[in-house]
Structure 1
């Protein structure tokens, strides 16, 4: 018998059934589109911009019942990279025990333990060799760390002095990473997101059907979140202290829209 002070028990590896989490990218009240130069978006500061790239890591998925009983997906099966240019990547498909789940938790980024594991433990979307940084990869070879969130585009508000692109394009780049490890102990941009599913529909996971938790991911929150900022003032944010302010905006991107059971 559990005492009140005991932690809630976790499910065991049995009666596993399919569950998917859908990361549906949007931009404010508009659909997400890559290379939308003909119909630019406008952020809260009135700056117009287009998007050329969006990629981010989702990991360590956990579901919890109303009674507080939780199940954490086996870590080896719980790393996903969502790409705005590839709609097929928007589903994170896992297996969890049959049950009715009222809460979803996941990490945005790659945890410090996995980031420091040997290369043979970092395969699939975590393979550091899967595309170099300049070609759209999600790994800083010079810093031996993952880029958790990569968001790029163009905006006419960027000054020539701030723009270092040799093609003359006025590009913004937000490459957010840092797990607080040995290389940069003061920067830890790993974020944990927990969403209450009760208002828009809990996940009733059963073996004979596919449950899908549909999330909207509003990338406008990058600019209009808790730490709102102007593209003109911060067109390029990478491995710097200011990246922590941008990272704090990222948790606000996720909103539960509905659940399909």
Structure 2
């Protein structure tokens, strides 16, 4: 569930830019498996533990465009996971953003400083005292409230981790501006951003490899100090953008290459490469050799993660499948646009065709 303190988005739109609804959903994980509240797991220190409550504040939420600029969502949200409630794909924030293809999301876990030191008794949800996220003995809010039980001498024993304080504000960046491997498409009908929080990473070893051992008193009741800093560092890397939950309707990139008269199709190799700024980065992600008769042949690359790709074709004169100088013959690609070629001295390479498949057009369930 989520409890917004103020409207989820205050966004000014101008001109013909369309706004579309977007939901931010959170799933709790233990490794790559869904967290089940109350179920027993084992941490690296050998403690058998279960989780029965997790709450945290989210603020400064922004979708990130491919050029690095942000579309900000205002407001503050308290995400809450407790027994009897869901832990997977839980909507924690609703917003409206311009339609388009985004490169990721950024957000903070915690309460901004200007709100963190208000009188909780005078605030409404989610900052009121009823939130269960306020330290009566210490000014400020609890940013993460993580509680459960572990087995100590066969006896279920409570443990808790409460992180807070201005210095514990955690900035999470899940935007890939290099390869655009995790696109977030927002159509007129809206979109969904799904993120994972791997709670098991809380228990990762600290500096020097000291285990996060719940049987040691300093790890059982944590409100601050070195253990809180260790947990803060561990949680920084516990977030990920979930791409597998996006729907799949077109798990391939395909097209047609037309070669000049007299060029055998089997001499042409097509590459699919991870791309940035239309450049094909070696080695190719996938490669295939054309076949058939005539002057045209199709290509298809399947089982692809979402991302930014370039499609290259070249005349493989010596048959080794490696692109290099050696052909001055023009070839014409046809893929989602006008044909283009790029003559380069004594050879010709296909002008890279930049392909940015939306997440819903890629089969993300295949592993």
Q: TM-score range by the shorter chain?
A: 0.7 to 0.9
Report the counterpart of residue 65 of structure 1 in structure 2. Answer: 65
> C-alpha separation between the residues in 1 aligned to 2:121 and 2:106?
27
Higher mean C-alpha displacement, 61-70 vs 239-248 = 239-248
Verify: 1:112 aligned to 2:107, yes or no. no
Long gaps (5+) in structure 2: 1-9, 247-359, 361-367
Q: CA deviation at 1:60?
A: 1.1
Task: Output one character per residue of 1:142-174: Cα deviation in whole Å (capped at 9) or x when no partner.
Answer: 213111111111112479xxxxxxxx8411111
**Highest relative contact order (Cα 8 Å, sep 6+), 1 or 2?**
1
Instruction: Decide whether the 8 Å contact of 2:27 with 2:34 is kept in 1.
Output: no
Report the counterpart of residue 124 of structure 2 in structure 1. Answer: 123
Task: Output one character per residue of 1:41-89: Cα deviation in whole Å (capped at 9) or x when no partner.
Answer: 0112222111121111111101111112212112xx3423232443389
Report the counterpart of residue 103 of structure 1 in structure 2. Answer: 104
Verify: 1:217 aligned to 2:202, yes or no. no
Instruction: Decide whether the 8 Å contact of 1:80 with 1:125 is kept in 2.
Output: yes
Report the counterpart of residue 32 of structure 1 in structure 2. Answer: 35
SS in structure 2 at match of 1:249:
helix
1:192 to 171, 190, 195: 171
Q: What pairs with 1:97-176 in structure 2 (closer than 5 Å)?
A: 97-117=98-118, 122-130=123-131, 137-157=132-152, 169-176=156-163
Long gaps (5+) in structure 1: 1-10, 131-136, 160-167, 180-187
> C-alpha separation between the residues in 2 aligned to 1:210 and 1:226?
41
Larger Rg: 2
User: Please, what TM-score do these two structures have when normalized by structure 2?
Assistant: 0.55
Work out the number of aligned pairs and report it: 223
Instruction: Decide whether the 8 Å contact of 2:28 with 2:199 is kept in 1.
Output: yes
> C-alpha separation between the residues in 2 aligned to 1:249 and 1:122?
31
Report the counterpart of residue 311 of structure 2 in structure 1. Answer: none
Task: Output one character per residue of 1:66-115: Cα deviation in whole Å (capped at 9) or x when no partner.
Answer: 112212112xx342323244338921222222232102100011111121
- CA root-mean-square deviation: 2.8
